[in-house]
Amino acid sequence: MKRKIIKSDRKDQPAGRVQQSGQKPKDLNVHARSQWQWTWKNMLLLSLCILSASIPFLLHLFSDSIDLSRPSDIGLNHTINMYLTPEQGVRVGVWHTVPERRWKEAQGKDLDWYEKALGDGSPIFIYLHGNGGNRSAPHRIGIANVLSAVGYHALVMDYRGFGDSTGEPTEAGLTTDAVYLYNWVKARSGNSLVCVWGHSLGTGVTTNTAVKLLEQGKQFDGIILEGAFLTGRGARDRPIEHPFKWFYWKFPYIQFFLFNPLKNNILVFPTDENLQKLRTPLMILHAQDDHLVPFASAQEIYRIAKKAQNSDERVKLVRFDGSLGYLHNGLYKDPGLPNIIRSLCSH
């Protein structure tokens, strides 16, 4: 009899352990469901984190939907697309917009006609744009249209790695692209003025290019710096994100082959040092409400350039009132901009 009691106790022992833990068999199902819910919630959160981290990559993947080889598709009917090769293995895309007065004549014309048009005596502007995006951005088209309306040629380039241009963007590479475009234009422009307009990141490329040309015994006939930034002292006051960070989101596989490529891709853009070497007519355009580069940066650039050139006539600072709402990209909307541009080319 005792033996049977002992067997019965052993058979019921597991159930006894469940009861000791305070759980009934029904509670096990509840506990299991709770664990699954916890697992799925965490998997969902992880998926959302991965998705949010991929957003920059996805945006760049789908943002270049415009066929940059066909500017007429977006209404640029006196603009042609071309590709230049600054270095072996690097191809950069450029839009050339002729003066507005020649728009009828330009219909259906080929690249040869556009190249010859550079020698018609009209001033020519090379436009070096800011970080990210491509030459089809609205504010870049806006500048090209203003220049065309004034009666000038506009050449808007996508540096290597931007738009449909090949290659990896680096400070030295962007400068090489700009120097090449200048020499290409000068070989076709005769005695026409050749000026440069740099915006944001493009202001650093502009002054780098101007110094490189100076070393070759050449120079721009005029320089416009819009929304210009300063490295060094200015950057410490207001740090800026690495300008080429977007490139490594656009091509994430690079991360597997290059350890911390942004760290190795050191940027200098010594605009303050470059300006001390230049003697080219210079115009600085800046909105007081610029939300990316403070107006104080423009004031410091003006101070440096004015001291270097020792002239109030050759160096101008044009301030756009903050109430106009132009921010960092909107100066092309200003109705007074055409006369400002003309004043630079009249020197």
For 200: left if phi > 0, alpha if psi spans -120 to 50, otherwise beta; the answer is left
Check 200, 272, 286, 297 and give the catalytic one: 200
Q: Tell me, what amino acid is at 127? A: Y
**Catalytic site includes residue 290:** yes
Q: How far apart are CA 16 and CA 218, in angstroms?
A: 95
Indicate the DSSP class of residue 158: P
Q: Which two tokens stand for residue 106?
A: 């330009």
| Residues paired with 90 in a beta bridge | 87
> In this structure, are residues 154 and 125 in contact, taking their beta carbons and an 8 Å threshold?
yes
Determine which helix (DSSP H) or strand (DSSP E) holds 236, and give its type and residue range. Answer: helix 233-237
Task: Say whether 110 is catalytic.
Answer: no
Helix (H) or strand (E) holding 305: helix 295-309
Cβ atoms of 286 and 254 closer than 8 Å: no
- DSSP characters over 37-63: HHHHHHHHHHHHHHHHHHHHHHHHHHH
- Tell me if residue 139 is catalytic: no
Residues 6+ positions from 190 with CB-CB distance below 8 Å:
118, 119, 121
Catalytic residue, from 158, 177, 272, 290: name it: 290
Which spans in 64-220 are helix H? 103-106, 111-117, 138-150, 171-186, 201-215
Cα 121 → chain centroid: 31
Catalytic residues, which ones? 200, 290, 328
